[in-house]
Amino acid sequence: MSEQTKFVLDESRIPKCWYNLMADLPTPPPPVLHPGTLEPVGPDDLAPLFPMSLIAQEVTTEREVEIPDPVREVYKLWRPSPLYRARRLERELDTPARIYYKYEGVSPAGSHKPNTAVAQAFYNKEAGVRRIATETGAGQWGSSLSFAGSVFGLEVEVFMVRVSYNQKPYRRALMETYGARCVPSPSEYTNSGRAILAQRADHPGSLGIAISEAVEIAAQHEDTKYALGSVLNHVLLHQTVAGLESIEQMAMAGDDPDILIGCTGGGSNFAGLVFPYLGLQLRGGRSRRVIAVEPAACPSLTRGQYAYDFGDTGHLTPLTKMHTLGSTFTPPGFHAGGLRYHGMAPLVSHAKELGLLEARAYHQRACFEAGVIFARAEGIVPAPEANHAVRAAIDEALHAKASGTSPVILFNLCGHGHFDMQAYIDFHSGKLTDQDYDEGELALALSGLPSVKA
């Protein structure tokens, strides 16, 4: 029993503040632009969609943003999350590397998403909002916001990408158990949805379309606001609880990570883990390798353009500068539904431009192979998204073995795969194949980027 496996913190050690990378960046990220005027947006432009407290968090340059007590109270249901030393995986790989993972799957919805869902629900409730509209792809964000809404007594309306709505009835059931309303998108409830359905009645939907529908509902109703589960600055801010806790837990373990790894769709679980470490570095601390891992089928960081683009397909959102595949880009069907977004968080994109991180892309079979190795060693079956981070951690550990080095690796295991077992069924039966995006589709989507001189 001498070897410690799990580093747990008492709930009194839940961070009291979120960490804001904006405070430590050498240059600020480019401004968010109004799609009509191409001028920087002001708070009033965003007021129909978000409460003022969240708009303030979107632009603040304060290093520490206090976590309200009612949010910390709800965090107590699962936070601080455990940090593990993956001793069994290390032995299985016979690697001299020391592998750690921060496990965010202990939340009620099974992923990191409640870290921001709870905060967003709190600020909306405080602002007198009655209802929140949102979109969801794989369902992790939708179920997290549904949970948060049930806790604070807010109605939650979720537009779920139709193909996922049909394929993932268990995620839907989870949202309904928390009392939310979940409708397939495109729907008949919005102009955006009706326009798409008029063109193609059996449209499978996309995250970009579902965002348009939720934004439209929020913009049209005084008592309704919109919530996004990734990409935006305030979302990444809320996720930093994970990284902040991990700094304390790594100290308990007597180790300091040399390599930080997270999977990236919109970028929030990745940022939540790595931004607090980047902050240490930018304030004069040691540098670490920081690796963002994305799907080869939707590779915004490795194949996208760093440009101003819309966040949604219906072009209702402001323009942000980010690594993007183009707002009309439709990735092929693959199982990590949470990573199927055309753009990358502006802050993550900016950090990449500043040389603070590297990115790589994997095909899905290699990721599931890694996930099964991990499950058999550590017990936890990772979500398909998280398998990307697992793959990179295993590859780094194998590289260490080959090169005779012994780095300390820390990755974010952002969720469990209990609601994604169909993907494992496909993998075990050999039906899971590697998907590539269509080069013509990408070129077309990129050619449609809005022209902005900024």
Q: Give least dist CB 71 to a second copy, A.
A: 11
Q: Give least dist CB 138 to a second copy, A.
A: 14
With 0-12 CB in 10 A as exposed, 13-18 as middle and 19+ as buried, what is 431?
Answer: exposed
Distance CA 301, CA 323 (A): 6
Q: Do 144 and 136 form a contact (C-beta atoms < 8 A)? A: no
Locate tokens 């308990």: which residue? 252
Q: Give least dist CB 85 to a second copy, A.
A: 10
Q: Do 110 and 140 form a contact (C-beta atoms < 8 A)? A: yes
Q: Which is nearer to a second copy, 75 or 226 (CB)?
A: 75
Q: Which is nearer to a second copy, 139 or 346 (CB)?
A: 139
Q: Give least dist CB 131 to a second copy, A.
A: 17
Q: Give least dist CB 440 to a second copy, A.
A: 35
Q: Which is nearer to a second copy, 294 or 378 (CB)?
A: 378
Inter-CA distances, 432 with 339, 369, 382, 403, Å: 17, 11, 16, 32
Q: Which is nearer to a second copy, 13 or 203 (CB)?
A: 13
Q: Which is nearer to a second copy, 21 or 383 (CB)?
A: 383
Q: Do 449 and 309 form a contact (C-beta atoms < 8 A)? A: yes
Q: Which is nearer to a second copy, 10 or 202 (CB)?
A: 10
Beta strands in 174-269 (DSSP E): 181-185, 224-226, 259-263
Q: Do 100 and 86 form a contact (C-beta atoms < 8 A)? A: yes
Q: Give least dist CB 369 to a second copy, A.
A: 12
Paired tokens of 89: 């995986």
Q: Which is nearer to a second copy, 375 or 398 (CB)?
A: 375
Angle at 213 between CA 208 and CA 214, to 5 degrees: 100
Instruction: Measure CA of the first residue to CA of the last residue in the chain; give whole Å.
Output: 59
Q: Which is nearer to a second copy, 318 or 371 (CB)?
A: 371
Q: Give least dist CB 356 to a second copy, A.
A: 33
DSSP state string for 94-156 = T-SSEEEEEE-TTSTTSBSTHHHHHHHHHHHHHTT--EEEEEESSSHHHHHHHHHHHHHT-EE
Q: Give least dist CB 6 to a second copy, A.
A: 5
> φ and ψ at 35, to 5 degrees?
-70, -25
Q: Give least dist CB 63 to a second copy, A.
A: 22
Q: Which positions lie near a second copy, rule CB under 8 A?
A: 1, 3-6, 8, 10-12, 69, 72-73, 76-78, 84, 88, 106-110, 147, 150-151, 169-170, 172-174, 176-179, 372, 375-376, 378-381, 418-419, 421-422, 424-425, 428
Q: Which is nearer to a second copy, 150 or 190 (CB)?
A: 150
Paired tokens of 261: 């790894």
